[in-house]
Amino acid sequence: MAAEAPPPSAEEHKLPTPEEFTEVQESAEFGELRRSYRSFAFPVTVGFIVWYLLYVLLSNYAGGFMGTKLFGNINVALVFGVLQFVTTFLIAWWYSRHAATNLDPKAEAIKTRMEGGA
């Protein structure tokens, strides 16, 4: 038998006012949350875009290199193409770990305080 979800809380959360949103947005705690996100997301995004563009440029202008057979019918282009997918999944995994350890606790603290829980 599957466990049932607990019933919704009867306790009402206070909705923040626009002024409270502005105050939180200007707070040092929110600034730290944004810095934590940006210090991860921007460099990783730039790195992945460079890696992807390298693959595209090599595919277009370095056909001889990309066609180099490594073993059997496996060439450099195929390995680089597969590595694009591997890199995508590794970045997603890495970001989920980063978010769970660095972003989610800070965001939850801000959310709880804004809803009147702290």
The encoded tokens of residue 8 equal 């919704």
What pLDDT shows up at residue 14?
A: 73
Nearest to 9 by CA among 116, 81, 94, 92: 116
- Is a pLDDT exceeding 80 seen at residue 2? no
What pLDDT shows up at residue 16?
A: 78
Q: What are phi and psi of 31, to 5 degrees?
A: -60, -40
What pLDDT shows up at residue 8?
A: 58
What pLDDT shows up at residue 18?
A: 84
pLDDT tens by residue, 29-43: 999 999 999 999 999
